[in-house]
Amino acid sequence: MNKFISGLKFNENGLIPAVIQDSKNGEVLMVAYMNDKAVRKTLETMKAHFYSRSRKKLWLKGESSGHIQKVKEIRFDCDADCLLVKVEQIGGACHTGYRSCFYRKLKDKKGNIAVSGKKVFDPDKVYKK
């Protein structure tokens, strides 16, 4: 067994969260979950794979949109229960068309929100209905 994977701690659902970061500008693009198989497929192909909790299946990021993530580096934290994956993002990471899923920020303590992210594609044109 791969020493890296055998050292990882998956949660009670067999998943480990993965922070996906742009390898060039450091922007945090998304957080998603991998199971053991997704980690293996990511390593094997150097393209990010995840486990979709809603669809309950392995998922190659970009399989519908073409917006794949080319993996440049994989890090893991002190508890070995979280991954940090540095990638080259093709297109945008977010299904809404934004480059990063974190396109909203808290504007004030009352809870008002501001949108501050870069829209890089039109989801209606990318995802077939």
Binding mask 54-73 for a second copy (x = CB under 8 A): -------------------x
The reply on whether position 26 binds a second copy by CB under 8 A is: yes
Shortest approach of a second copy to residue 58 CB, angstroms?
Answer: 19
* Residue 94 to residue 120: CA distance in whole angstroms: 9
Place of tokens 């480990």: 16
Q: Smallest gap, in angstroms, from Cβ of residue 82 to a second copy?
A: 5
Q: How near is the Cβ of 72 to a second copy at its closest, in Å?
A: 11
Number of residues that bind a second copy (CB under 8 A): 41
Residue burial 25-49, b: 16+ Cβ < 10 Å; e: rest: eebebbebbbbbebbbbbeeeebbb
**Residue 38 or residue 101: which is nearer to a second copy going by CB?**
101
Per the listing, tokens 């909203």 go with 104
Q: Where are the alpha helices (DSSP H) in 1-129?
A: 3-6, 36-45, 123-126
Per rule CB under 8 A, is residue 2 in the interface with a second copy?
A: yes
Handedness of CA 44, 82, 74, 1 (dihedral sign): negative
What residues line the site for a second copy (CB under 8 A)?
Answer: 2-7, 17, 19, 21, 25-28, 30-31, 43-44, 73-79, 82, 84, 94-96, 98, 101-106, 109-113
